[in-house]
Each structure stands twice: as C-alpha cells, then as structure tokens.
Amino acid sequence: MPQIVVLPHATLCPEGAVIDAQKGKTVCDTLLAHDIEIEHACEKSCACTTCHVVVREGFNSLNEAQEKEEDLLDMAWGLEAQSRLSCQAVVGDEDLVIEIPKYTINQVSENH
C-alpha cells in the first residue's frame, strides 16, 4: 500500500503526517479521509485551484494531468513544475511526498 507523506503545513497539518493511501483514490480524498482538511471549494469537480499541492516525490506515479487541470493550475498560487490539483491526482503504486502550499488563490484574494 502506498503512503503519502504530508510535509508540515502551519494550519492544516502542523506536524506533517504519514498516511496510508489506496491506489486509485485521489490525493484529496485520501487527505480528507485522514482529517487533513485541504480546501476544495469546487467540491472536487476540477473547477478551481484550492486543492493545489506540490508533489515533491512520486510525481511520475500519478495519473497524467488532463488539459482542464493544466489550464486551472496556471492560476494556482505558488505553481511549480510538479504541481497538481489533489482532486485530480490519482494515487498510483509509489509513495508520495506532498507539500500543501501556504496559500490558495482564495486566501490571497481575501487578504488584499
């Protein structure tokens, strides 16, 4: 069973976490099932960027991003080459190390 290592996030997961993941489930659903309340404003329908994560290890084991996800990611705060929307990233065979960005686009707009 693959694991997801969640790097520490000040509010969502201050200590970080190591959780068992089920192959075929999304990263978002896996985080939520383990009480890591990642934001998902569009209810996981690939219509926003609030569930954006950066995959530090295991990126190539995830399913390939579709064009709609890639277009949305262009608007994500803190976009990196290994960014994914966690609602679209399906766990494969390998362990993952993910970082939840400090902000989402919703939080950035609320603070300005």
pLDDT digits (tens, 9 = 90+) for 30-80: 999 999 999 999 999 999 999 999 999 999 999 999 999 999 999 998 999
Strands (E) in 34-107, as ranges, are: 52-57, 83-85, 96-99
Beta bridge partners of 82: none
The whole-model pTM stands at 0.92
CATH number at residue 54: 3.10.20.30
In the chain, alpha helices (H): 27-33, 67-73, 105-110
Note the pLDDT of residue 109.
43
Number of compact structural domains in the chain: 1
21 strand-pairing partners? none
| Separation CA 78–CA 58 (nearest Å) | 19
